[in-house]
Amino acid sequence: MNNKLQSVRGTHDHLPEDMYKYSNIITKAENISALYGFKPMATPIFEFSSVFKKTLGESSDIVTKEMYTFKDKGDEEITLRPEGTAGIVRAIISNGLSQEMPFKSFYHGPMFRYERPQKGRLRQFHQIGIELLGTKSEQADIEIIACANNLIKALDIDGSSTLHINSLGNITERKTYIADLLIYLKDFKNKLSISSIDRFEKNPLRILDSKAEEDIEIVKNAPKLINYLESESKDSFNKVLEGLNNLNITYEINHKLVRGLDYYNNTTFEFITNKLGSQSAILAGGRYDNLMKQMGGPDIPGIGWAAGIERLALLTTIKEDKKKSVSIIPVGIENNILCINLADELRNKNISIDMAYSGNLKKRLKQANKISADYAIIIGDEEIQNNNAIIRNLETGSQEYIELDKLVKHIEKKML
């Protein structure tokens, strides 16, 4: 038996170097979405299970295989959120915000899905996302995609990703298409992958975006959903493509792009990379015009996207912008109070301070170098007697003596 304490499979400890990158991604996403009028909001990490079962589709992989669902002490069935959209829509209904349209929200936080951990895919993962409710205009689709495109550019990963786009049409068009798709797939049913055989009855659209080689070969000649669109859906899709062209946003029409959730309709899109193996989608979304009505609210359309922070982090080369810092080294316990007060005064000046309390002077200077401090302030009995402090430049090794009452201003200048 392995007694070593470990994190639960599919979870990950975000160490300081990870958190810097994740925080940077979140900040950039929030700032860019704010330029489009999106405001931050947050929903609980767990909801009544019905919030997701009603919306994601009883036959979706998330509902059938991946949700973390449990009974709480009040015997209520609760689910850790597997995605963000349903919770946002629930919050709009619960808080009576359906009159405040259009409603634009930005969110980030942990999501939970029980699935096989892979590169960039965890059982507890983190997402950023935006949702726009209250308009059916194609301009909303264009703005949503443009916002995503600008984030991909800001993270400097546009060179390693491609925008794929498709239209799922409306419910009627999709039902007609699925009927013909099943007729086509019936002749190949025994040759499909195990997961696609399972999807054949429950969710045949998902067979189109299967990553199994045998499925990819079979669906090459499958009917295309776009050929089943009526004029209204076709015109809408063409307007979206025209808008992307006007903004010089490059894209590929992917007829096999269907997304995994039942609530999507019309415009659907993904930013794809070839650098993460089978987990190729790094940002994805689409239109969900029937979701709010399906959840018991008014008939209000919506569109949005979400991106996995862990996946984005694997592609970005963001390096920590190291803030200048100072290590204060009190030599002798009796000098601790003076140094603590000095540290407090410098922190009030927005200067990062590390207090080196223990070990001999050599060890404390070594620690100051280890944390990449720029300067060390050394104050011992001799310095107190002479009313000064030693300031050592930890890059060059040079040092100078500065009077105690001039120390704060002197350090301030060095930190500029």
Give pLDDT tens digits for 191-250. Answer: 888 888 888 877 888 888 787 888 888 888 888 888 999 999 999 999 999 999 999 999
Where are the extended beta strands (E) located within 103-232?
Answer: 103-112, 124-133, 161-167
- Write down the residue that tokens 């049913």 correspond to: 189
Q: Do domains 16-170+230-315 and 325-415 have the same CATH topology?
A: no
- Indicate the pTM of the whole model: 0.85
Backbone angles phi, psi at 266, to 5 degrees: 50, -125
So what CATH class is 325-415? alpha beta
235: amino acid identity, one letter:
D
Give pLDDT tens digits for 328-372. Answer: 999 887 888 899 999 999 999 999 999 887 888 899 999 999 988
pLDDT in tens, the chain (416 residues): 455 788 888 888 888 888 989 999 999 999 999 999 999 999 999 999 989 887 776 555 666 678 889 999 999 999 999 999 999 999 999 999 988 899 999 999 999 998 887 776 789 999 999 999 999 999 999 999 999 999 999 999 877 889 999 999 998 998 898 899 899 988 888 888 888 888 887 788 888 878 788 888 888 888 888 899 999 999 999 999 999 999 999 999 998 888 766 678 999 999 998 887 666 889 999 999 989 998 899 999 999 999 999 999 999 887 777 788 999 999 887 888 899 999 999 999 999 999 887 888 899 999 999 988 999 999 999 999 999 999 999 999 999 999 999 999 999 998 88
301-323: burial string, b at 16+ Cβ within 10 Å, e else = bbbbbbbbbbbbbbbbebeeeee
Where are the extended beta strands (E) located within 5-158?
Answer: 39-40, 46-48, 69-71, 77-80, 103-112, 124-133
Each domain of the chain, given as residue ranges in start order, spans 16-170+230-315, 325-415
Q: Where are the alpha helices (DSSP H) in 247-318?
A: 291-294, 309-315
- Domain 16-170+230-315, CATH among 3.90.1150.10, 1.10.357.10, 1.10.1060.10, 3.30.930.10: 3.30.930.10
381: amino acid identity, one letter:
D
How far apart, in whole angstroms, are the C-alpha atoms of residue 194 and residue 214? 10
Give the CA angle between residues 164, 168, 170 to the nearest 5°. Answer: 155
- Reference 352, options 378, 322, 330; nearest CA is 322
- Write down the residue that tokens 């992958």 correspond to: 193
How far apart, in whole angstroms, are the C-alpha atoms of residue 189 and residue 184? 9
